[in-house]
Structures are given as C-alpha cells and as structure tokens.
Copies of this chain bind each other. A is one copy, B any other.
Amino acid sequence: MHLFYQPALTPADAAGLLTDEDSRHATRTLRLGVGDTISVTDGRGNRFDCVITRADKQCAFRVVAILSTPPRLFSVRICVAPTKNLDRMEWFVEKAVELGIERISFFIGQHSERRVLKLERIEKIAVAAMKQSLQSWMPRLDEAVPLAQLIPSVSENQRFIAHLPENVPAEPLIRSAEPSGRYAVLIGPEGDFSASELQQATQAGFTMVTLGSNRLRTETAALSACQALNFLNQ
C-alpha cells in the first residue's frame, strides 16, 4: 500500500491533488499511473482509498472509500528536553510515532545543553513514521518552550515526572499510572531537572516515577515512558 499524507483532505472531498513532492514520488519513484490505487491519510484518523485520475507533475485522485480509525482510548503526551545530539531526538520521534503517541512537547530545562530545536525536520520524521506504520493519526508536535512555561499549561489528568529522588523510593510509571488515562510525562535533559523545576512540577501535580533501575539516556527514557503507558493499556 502506498500511503500519502495530506492534512487538508476532508471526508467531504470526493477528489484531490497530491503535492508536487508526493506527485514526483508517485510517478517517478513508485512509477504509478492513471488507474493505480493509493491511500491518503489526513492524519486525523481517516484513510482514503483513492484511484489516480491524472499522473502528472501534479497527480489527481478520486476517493473510492474512507476508512476511519477512532482515537485510542487513552492518550500519551511526552514532554521531553531535546538531546544535545539531534539524531537521538529524531530517533525517539520515529519510534514513538511508530508505537502510537498523541503528542510530543519539547521543552528547555535549566540544565539543557540544547536550547533550540527546529520542528521542521522532526515533523518530516513523524510523517514518515506514521506512513511506515500505516497509521492515520498524526501526533501533535509542540515547539520547544521553557519548562517553567510548559508545566502550568499541561492539562492531562495523569501527570508524571521521571525522576529518581534520592533516598525516596519512587514507584514505576507502569504501576503509578491508571489505565484509560490522558497521560503527560516529563523527561529531563542530560543534566537532569533542577531542584526548582522538580518543585514546580510536584506543586503542579506531577508525580515522581521511575522507569526502571538503570540509568537511561534521555531518548531511551522518553521511549520507555511511551511503552509503559502503551503496555498498561494493552
């Protein structure tokens, strides 16, 4: 199945056009022509089975059927401080999208080494992962903001911060979270959260949790949190 992403398509549309880039991909790389079938997703749960009606610099298609997938019965939002090495963050985004995630919010912590993140490349990776795993939901991606600004804006009802407090036993995320929730998990930078950030988060109702006894890299911890919440709801 050849899956394309077109956020502007709606279930009311009987036909549409591929972007220039997708048209090139369809005609040159995939060598598709008039009459061939493609799938198009709007990233909002709909997959449109389509037939190509013009194979050109701009391909046109006709919608044949729509398959709608409801959202998951729980939602996972990971708020993560971008790693110094961008590859590691891109890898996390690819895997998190493959496994199903609703939202990724980036933040800059007081101990963050990386203080700037461009979303453009991250978005491309997310789209590719969504298509690769044949999903119809595109997660929401948020620009990096300071953690102090992010914390008060998090409205998910189950809020966690991955941090192992010294001399205090923290519960594993998979035991602390309850099924069917709307989850938000904060994952700190390589330099960890500052004391004042931890205090702000706990005051805002974030529960400290552990992801296991090993010291994990930022991106491994972020993916581990996704997985724990997915498994809790399996």
Residues of A within 8 A of B (CB): 91, 95, 98-100, 132-135, 172, 174-175, 212-217, 220, 223-224, 227-228, 230-231, 234
* CA–CA, A86 and B134, complex, Å: 23
- Apart from A100-B212, A172-B234, what are 6 other A-B pairs with CB-CB below 8 Å? A95-B223, A99-B220, A132-B215, A134-B215, A174-B231, A231-B231
Contact of A227 among B134, B213, B217, B227 (CB under 8 A): B227
Q: Indicate whether A215 sits within 8 Å of B133 (C-beta atoms), given known contacts A172-B234, A174-B231, A228-B231.
A: yes
Q: Are B91 and A217 in contact (CB under 8 A)?
A: no
Residues of chain B contacted by A91 (CB below 8 angstroms): 91
Contact of A234 among B133, B175, B215, B220 (CB under 8 A): B175
The residue of chain B having its C-beta at the shortest distance from the C-beta of A95 within the complex is: B220
